[in-house]
Structure 1
């Protein structure tokens, strides 16, 4: 039950993703969260939507941040230089803490076109040297909450009375909300979490002012900057079409200056240069093959 003083979320900003054709084996890319607005999205840095085939993202390094990859369609093969190898299918999510030194490859499988969303999530300065780790969250392992006219699948954090299996170093919530036409639901999120939604299909009304978003629409949401993580806020969602599906992400801002540069996210250019030098010196380990 909502209390009278509970923050009711509204849309702060909204836009639609624009796409560009890429050179094969990449096919198409769009920026759901543009990289140059990380201060607005904190703790999130960027989110890319990609369509690609095998050979697009071969062995590459990362340091200083986390990724959350959601598979929309096709099959995605993950390979890392720690011996990890798996195939993810639609509705699956992979979490990676790059920490101090990750090397991995991400590929379409056989002739599949992989269609993914990859979110970059910042690490606080004192956690950028943590150990690298990977976690696959398969769709069937993420709890589902059935609601009137829809369902909520919870990948991370406490949402709709259940807890998702993702174990992120920086706690976030990630849920997929499915609504039929005219179905509505009020989602609760920690009031101090910066949050955004992305519409995968259908059409949805969002927030206190019933802002309408269609497929490929993105909205950032109001939040209580100095609020309490234990205190909930409410986000109103209403489906305007059948098969409306939206992803809702939230996380508490880290409030640190960062330098995203190539495959690394650090707090200064000196640290970026050191990351490149460490990679050249072989400190990231063998290739992911």
Structure 2
């Protein structure tokens, strides 16, 4: 669903922006982007990535934050400086704590393209030098339940084995009628469209759209058929987010 190219007001859905990471790797970035140029404390960055066969990210370094990768389609091979080698497939997730520094690589598995969602979560100033760490979860590990008009899988939060150093919740939500998302007091977060279309608070919402939410309120979601989205919220650190490429200071 096409949208205005001009940035829109805070609290309204905006379209993600296309980003190229090199030959064969592209993404739809929810934020920061031309449409929403800010970070969403405690979140540094969120995007949907697409990696073509025989391409990917060779070994590279990260520092100062945590990464949650959630696969939508296909498989991705992960390797890192901790000695971990793992393939995450559709419906599976990984958490990396970069902390004081980690190196990792990401390539599509089985000679086929893959795509997924990647979230960068800031570490508080007191935890920037945390020991690097890694954790993964299979689709069966992530609890799924019916919740008031939607089927909800918890990627991070109550019942999920994935734990971060920031208090947060990450939900994969399939809405077939109507569903209400509630932002806790003092938290901030966003909705991001994965498949289908519908509306959020009466505004059109489809694949690649993002709704930033920085105040405690209920957001009404309605589906036109089926709408799949992710709902992510967390407690802000209240500290500046200074991103320098793969490092968050």
Scaled to the shorter chain, the TM-score interval is 0.7 to 0.9
Ranges in structure 2 where 5+ consecutive residues have no aligned partner: 1-9
Residue of structure 2 aligned with 1:250, choices 233, 237, 241: 233
Q: State how far apart, in whole Å, the 2-side matches of 1:98 and 1:199 are.
A: 27
Query: Rg bigger for which structure?
Result: 1
1:258 Cα deviation from its structure 2 partner: 3.0
Q: Deviations over 1:169-201 (max 9, x none)?
A: 112100011122xx1122344222101011111
Are 1:34 and 2:24 an aligned pair?
Answer: no
Question: Match for 1:201 among 188, 195, 205?
Answer: 195
- Alpha-carbon shift at residue 149 of structure 1 (Å): 4.9
Q: Show the counterpart of 1:176.
A: 172
**What pairs with 1:1-289 in structure 2 (closer than 5 Å)?**
12-19=11-18, 23-24=22-23, 26-34=24-32, 39-52=38-51, 53-147=53-147, 149-158=149-158, 163-180=159-176, 183-207=177-201, 210-224=202-216, 233-241=217-225, 243-266=226-249
5+ residue gaps, structure 1, are 1-10, 225-232, 267-289
| Contact 1:54/1:110, CA 8 A, preserved across alignment | no
Contact 2:155–2:162 (8 Å) recurs in 1: yes
On the 8 A contact 2:192/2:209 being kept in 1, the answer is yes
For 1:178 and 1:127, how far apart are their aligned partners in 2? 34
**Whole-angstrom distance in 1 between the partners of 2:248 and 2:107:** 22
Deviations 1:135-190 (A, max 9, x none): 112222111112465411111124xxxx332201112100011122xx11223442
Q: Kindly state the Cα deviation for residue 126 of structure 1 after the two structures are TM-superposed.
A: 0.4
**Of Structure 1 and Structure 2, which has the larger fraction of its residues in helix?**
1
User: TM-score of the superposition, structure 2-length normalised?
Assistant: 0.87
Contact 1:38 1:45 in 2 (8 A): no
Describe the SS at the equivalent of 1:126. Answer: helix
TM-score by length of 1: 0.76
> 2: distance between equivalents of 1:164 and 1:247?
15
